[in-house]
């Protein structure tokens, strides 16, 4: 059993729906069931570096279950190993290792275990702190659903719902104008979000990073649909999708972020190419950060609460450096070290792809018949 008296909690990386549900579950359970004090760390690792740490009371985490974002704040720029510390004469960001500062703040606030809620980048910073003797518990979050060793992350289902609603809306305008409509989802190098929202929204074409596409296949499919009297074509494209033999579309490089590449814009490029190749009117919509915002759906509220609770049970059992995870529908835990810096992509033989192909969805890799 644990002898810990004080824990800390931070949310790192991009926000997602359900973070507040985890903060609430961890804080209330540790206070009510285990009699611990809980310190809230502001803005992810920035708070540990800049010493923005405060005591969380049960009141501070009341009425936040349904709220999107994170009441603690987050950052996908700061990590103790690589913290922006100003600019050089040429205007380039200078980075510094501020691990000592972080360790000093953890000791100063008497934090004996840190709950870190984040994605693969956050888990990689967590491994760095583990190697410096900090006791950590990880909770997986991301709308991308791309964390290794967990079959689902909270936030994903809400993002699927948001993207699906957008696709539903685009169906009606696409049909009215007899257009090809592209919808670009987030997801980085994994197609989970595009695949699931595409299936739920009845997309005619789904393009994901795991399956490089061919423009000639997509163009022929759109033309065939027109020839068969279909009113429109909906193409859901993941931001990480790329043509066979080509590369992903980079929107910007964020030089002071630990993951510098921001993908985006593949739908705009494809819209022009499909329009040019087919003569059909084409429009594109990039869903962007609306997929990350807003209130979590019921599924994510429950999952976040269960994962938060599971994190407290690891603390009770003094089982450090583990990340709670979902495997075969059950909550379990894995070593944080096994999750860091890895991506879980969509397996090509998964049921979702098979089911979508079964109803005639084209994945842009080889010609499919219009059904």
Options 43-51, 55-63, 185-193, 271-279: segment touching ligand F6P (CB under 6 A): 185-193
Taking each helix axis as running N to C, give the angle between helix 266-278 and helix 215-227, from 0 to 180 degrees, rounded to the nearest 10: 60
* Shortest Å, Cβ 220 to ligand F6P: 30
Buried b (16+ CB within 10 A) or exposed e, 173-209: ebeeeebbbbbbbbbbbbbbbbbbbbbbbebbbbbbb
70 lies in the site for ligand F6P, by CB under 6 A: no
Binding test (CB under 6 A) with ligand F6P, winner from 19, 111, 263, 346: 263
| Residues 74-93 interacting with ligand F6P (rule: CB under 6 A) | 76
**Is the distance from CB of 99 to CB of 81 less than 8 angstroms?**
yes
187 lies in the site for ligand F6P, by CB under 6 A: yes
- Distances, alpha carbon 215 to alpha carbons 147, 193, 228, in Å: 30, 22, 20
User: Which CB, 12 or 275, lies closer to ligand F6P?
Assistant: 12
* Shortest Å, Cβ 341 to ligand F6P: 14
Options 29-37, 38-46, 92-100, 180-188: segment touching ligand F6P (CB under 6 A): 180-188
CA distance 266 to 260: 18
Binding pattern for the stretch 218-247 against ligand F6P, x by CB under 6 A and - elsewhere? ---------------------x--------
- Residue 114 pairs with which residues in a beta bridge? 8, 136
User: Which CB, 164 or 312, lies closer to ligand F6P?
Assistant: 164
186 lies in the site for ligand F6P, by CB under 6 A: yes
18 lies in the site for ligand F6P, by CB under 6 A: no
284 lies in the site for ligand F6P, by CB under 6 A: no
User: Which CB, 2 or 257, lies closer to ligand F6P?
Assistant: 257
Catalytic center residues:
144
**Is the distance from CB of 235 to CB of 268 less than 8 angstroms?**
no
Category of 353 on φ-ψ map: left (φ > 0), alpha (ψ -120 to 50) or beta: alpha
User: Which CB, 76 or 223, lies closer to ligand F6P?
Assistant: 76
- Residue 117 pairs with which residues in a beta bridge? 11, 139
CA distance 308 to 19: 10
* Shortest Å, Cβ 127 to ligand F6P: 18
188 lies in the site for ligand F6P, by CB under 6 A: yes
**Is the distance from CB of 143 to CB of 159 less than 8 angstroms?**
yes
Total binding residues toward ligand F6P, as defined by CB under 6 A: 13
144 lies in the site for ligand F6P, by CB under 6 A: yes
User: Which CB, 101 or 262, lies closer to ligand F6P?
Assistant: 262
Q: How many helices (H) and strands (E) does the chain have?
A: 10, 15
Handedness of CA 204, 290, 330, 13 (dihedral sign): positive
Options 32-40, 107-115, 142-150, 333-341: segment touching ligand F6P (CB under 6 A): 142-150
Nearest residue to ligand F6P, scored by beta-carbon proximity: 186
Options 182-190, 242-250, 274-282, 339-347: segment touching ligand F6P (CB under 6 A): 182-190
Q: How many other CB atoms sit within 10 Å of the CB of residue 331? A: 16
The three-state (H, E, C) secondary structure of 179-201, written as one string: CEEEEEECCCCCCHHHHHHHHHC
Binding test (CB under 6 A) with ligand F6P, winner from 82, 135, 141, 292: 292
**Is the distance from CB of 308 to CB of 33 less than 8 angstroms?**
no
User: Which CB, 187 or 364, lies closer to ligand F6P?
Assistant: 187
CA distance 1 to 22: 23
Binding site for ligand F6P (CB under 6 A): 14, 76, 119, 142-144, 186-188, 239, 262-263, 292
């Amino acid at each position: 059993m644990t002898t810990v008296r004080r824990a800390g909690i931070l949310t790192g990386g991009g926000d997602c729906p359900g973070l507040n549900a985890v903060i609430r579950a961890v804080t209330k359970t540790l206070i009510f069931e285990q009699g611990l004090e809980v310190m809230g760390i502001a803005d992810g690792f920035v708070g540990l570096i800049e010493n923005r740490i405060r005591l969380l009371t049960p009141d501070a985490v009341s009425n936040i279950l349904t709220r999107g974002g994170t009441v603690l704040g987050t950052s996908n720029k700061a990590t103790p190993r690589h913290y922006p510390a100003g600019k050089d004469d040429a205007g380039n960001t200078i980075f510094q290792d501020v691990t000592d500062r972080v360790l000093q703040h953890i000791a100063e606030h008497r934090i004996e275990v840190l709950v870190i809620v984040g994605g693969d980048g956050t888990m990689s910073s967590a491994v760095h702190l583990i190697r410096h003797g900090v006791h950590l518990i990880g909770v997986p979050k991301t709308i991308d659903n791309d964390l290794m060793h967990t079959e689902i992350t909270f936030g994903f289902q809400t993002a699927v719902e948001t993207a699906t609603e957008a696709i539903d809306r685009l169906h009606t305008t696409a049909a009215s104008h007899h257009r090809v409509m592209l919808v670009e989802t987030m997801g980085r190098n994994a197609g989970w979000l595009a695949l699931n929202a595409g299936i739920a929204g009845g997309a005619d074409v789904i393009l994901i990073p795991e399956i490089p596409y061919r423009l000639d296949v997509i163009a022929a499919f759109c033309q065939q649909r027109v020839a068969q009297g279909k009113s429109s074509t909906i193409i859901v494209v993941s931001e990480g999708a790329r043509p066979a033999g080509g590369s992903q579309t980079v929107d910007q490089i964020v030089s002071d972020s630990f993951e510098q590449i921001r993908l985006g814009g593949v739908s705009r490029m494809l819209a022009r190419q499909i329009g040019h190749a087919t003569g059909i009117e084409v429009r594109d919509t990039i869903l962007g950060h609306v997929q990350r915002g807003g209130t979590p759906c019921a599924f994510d509220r429950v999952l976040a609460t269960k994962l938060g609770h599971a994190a407290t049970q690891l603390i009770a059992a003094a089982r450090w450096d583990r990340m709670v995870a979902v495997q075969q529908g059950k909550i379990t835990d894995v070593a944080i070290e096994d999750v860091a810096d890895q991506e879980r992509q969509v397996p090509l033989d998964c049921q979702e792809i098979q089911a979508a192909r079964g109803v005639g969805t084209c994945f842009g890799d080889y010609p499919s018949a219009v059904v």
